[in-house]
Structure 1
């Protein structure tokens, strides 16, 4: 998807809604994101772990997340959408 289209946010929210990450962790991300003036990025931070990603509000490197639902094993790969990180995106 295009840069700033919400790939990481949507994916992080999906992981949370499916039980792949707990509410306490999301609340921690929300607090930390708000301190940087990026409170709405709490779900993106599930996958965006690098300091630069969190400060700039963009995905720089790919992220892999695995979780289970009662019915499925799920593997999610989040890739950057910014053209400066095309090599990282292709790796994903």
Structure 2
């Protein structure tokens, strides 16, 4: 499932559920646009490594926890690229 939008979808879900504020998303949008990757703003919620942001891929697993009025939510994002299978497995 390489380049299917897992990180972007997950970051957008976190934002829509109130797990991250609009100001932070706007900051990511500005920074992503400066690198010519404006559409990656939601992926950057989980993709923190410089290499991930520059290459536009998830290299390492990421964990995000947040609360909604009804639920405690934990999200794990994992790499989809073959080169990072070892990183994905360590996240399970």
The answer, yes or no, to whether TM exceeds 0.5 is yes
Displaced runs of 4 or more, over 4 A: none
2:69 and 2:3 map into 1 onto residues whose CA distance is: 32
Figure out how many residues of one structure are paired with residues of the other and give that number: 91
1:11 and 1:91 map into 2 onto residues whose CA distance is: 19
1:87 and 1:3 map into 2 onto residues whose CA distance is: 15
What secondary structure, in the 3-state scheme, does the structure 1 residue paired with 2:18 have? coil
2:45 and 2:23 map into 1 onto residues whose CA distance is: 12
The answer to whether the aligner puts 1:74 opposite 2:73 as a matched pair is yes
TM-score calculated relative to the size of structure 1: 0.98
The CA deviation at 1:91 is 1.3
1:76 and 1:23 map into 2 onto residues whose CA distance is: 19
What do the CA deviations read for 1:55-85 (whole angstroms, capped 9, x no partner)? 0000000000000000000000000000000
What secondary structure, in the 3-state scheme, does the structure 2 residue paired with 1:71 have? coil
Instruction: Give ranges in structure 2 of 5+ residues lacking alignment.
Output: none
